[in-house]
A and B are shown apart, each in its own frame.
Chain A
């Protein structure tokens, strides 16, 4: 027992150990509900005991054991041990150590993987991950997603019911399914980040919480998963985040990358991202997140748009479009080509992508086409593309930006 202020120690333990204790209790007690109740009781017991007995040397182990004991005790008193928790009943006689080295880490991984399980609907994965791994309350998640708390609460209740009814295993994924499961975890984190980052309208301050939560989860994923794609995702989010101050002007309007004041970019975040990218490329497997981060990093290192290493960006897009081909990647590659080889070449590449037809409803494709046409002096064609883009976006800041572009075209025509 150490000589720390028990009240402060309890608060610190709550912040530091809650997730790990919950993760382990879910495994020991066989479900979320029992584990959450036990977690609650364990902290209640700590509030009672630590001031009297002192703070235990290993708060995690103490809390796990208290939570498990409280549950066993309560179930015994209800005298229906075998009926309610047969799993627990079987475990009672064994004296297996609850917290052998590495067990806590594995439990945290189990928790992340179950919250991001592909069998759950994507929005339920997001809500569950934010609450159980990210430590947000139902009400905080609802505020961030501009939803009513009961809507979020229901998604979480249903997801937990589905985990039970479909007996989704609380285990580390087998090697064969690991890539798919990892992908799902990273996608959930990136979705959370994008939800916070894309939101420029509405109560935007609140939505910064989502970016902060995504960054926390990204750091946790890097720490736990030891995977180059997790490093790539965190790097990518850090570079987006580094531009936050430059991305909107005083009126809240979007500022394009080319017009951003690069002095406002947060170098600390870029440097952290660069280190992650280097670590990622040192690994064997290069994936889409790492490549996207590397592309973003080229921009982050360029002193100005014209001094950007477009050849490197095109080369990275070449690899990305082989690895993870999509119309959006092809579109971005065309834009980079336009910067490297001139608007004519860019437009030709963009038209080739557009012929596949999948980008018709994507406003940024029309905006990019309009931009290239404008540079080529084809004002009328540019106007039509800007108008198409404008009709396709519901985002107020993007609408203002496109309207401004249209006005500039008119000024020039006059």
Chain B
């Protein structure tokens, strides 16, 4: 199965210059290679801070595009890694090896299998 590992961190903490943060950032460079070697990696990207982002909505056929989101919450989405894993526990174990897990948090989300029924809410 495929799982998206969504990487969240507080930018002030991650880029605040502590030795732990620096070490984690250094490791990030080779993390993709490591996952590639173990065969878990599908794809992954780190994202620019959201002050370089736009948010797009279409309502009644009209598009609006605004700046942001701005950094309102402490932790923000900073990247993602799409992995292949046997099950949720293996995905969690792999996510636990991500360097940013030591500074921020990794949300592990199963990728939707479109052959299963839609959720009823």
Contact = CB atoms under 8 A, between A and B. Distances in A.
Given A33-B93, A36-B93, A139-B1, A150 B38 contact: no
A37 B38 contact: yes
A131 B93 CA distance: 14
A397 interface: no
B92 A137 contact: no
A40 B89 contact: no
Contacts of B34: 74
Contacts of B88: 137-139, 149-150, 152-153
Contacts of B87: 131, 137-140
Interface residues of B, number: 16
Interface in A254-299: none
Contacts of B37: 41
A44 B90 CA distance: 15
B93 to A, nearest CB: 6
Contacts of A365: none
Contacts of B93: 33, 36-37
B39 interface: yes
B108 to A, nearest CB: 9
Interface in A31-86: 33, 36-37, 40-41, 44, 74
A140 B87 CA distance: 9
Nearest to B39: A44
A156 B89 contact: yes
Contacts of B96: 33
A98 interface: no
Most buried by A among B38, B89, B92, B96: B89
B89 A44 contact: no
Contacts of B59: none
Interface in B31-53: 34, 37-40
B38 A157 contact: no
A140 B88 CA distance: 10
B110 A157 contact: no
Contacts of B1: 137, 139
Contacts of B12: none
A9 to B, nearest CB: 18
B86 interface: yes
B89 A131 contact: yes
Given A137-B86, A139-B1, A153 B38 contact: no
A44 B39 CA distance: 7
Contacts of A74: 34
Nearest to B93: A33
Nearest to A155: B89
B39 to A, nearest CB: 4
Listed from nearest, the 7 A-B pairs whose CB atoms lie closest are A137-B87, A138-B88, A138-B87, A44-B39, A153-B88, A138-B89, A149-B88
11 contacts: A40-B38, A40-B39, A40-B40, A41-B38, A44-B38, A44-B39, A137-B87, A149-B88, A153-B92, A157-B89, A157-B92
Interface of A: 33, 36-37, 40-41, 44, 74, 131, 137-140, 149-150, 152-153, 156-157
Interface of B: 1, 34, 37-40, 86-90, 92-93, 96-97, 110
Given A41-B38, A150-B88, 14 more contacts: A33-B93, A36-B90, A40-B40, A41-B37, A44-B38, A44-B39, A131-B87, A137-B86, A137-B87, A139-B88, A140-B87, A153-B92, A157-B89, A157-B92
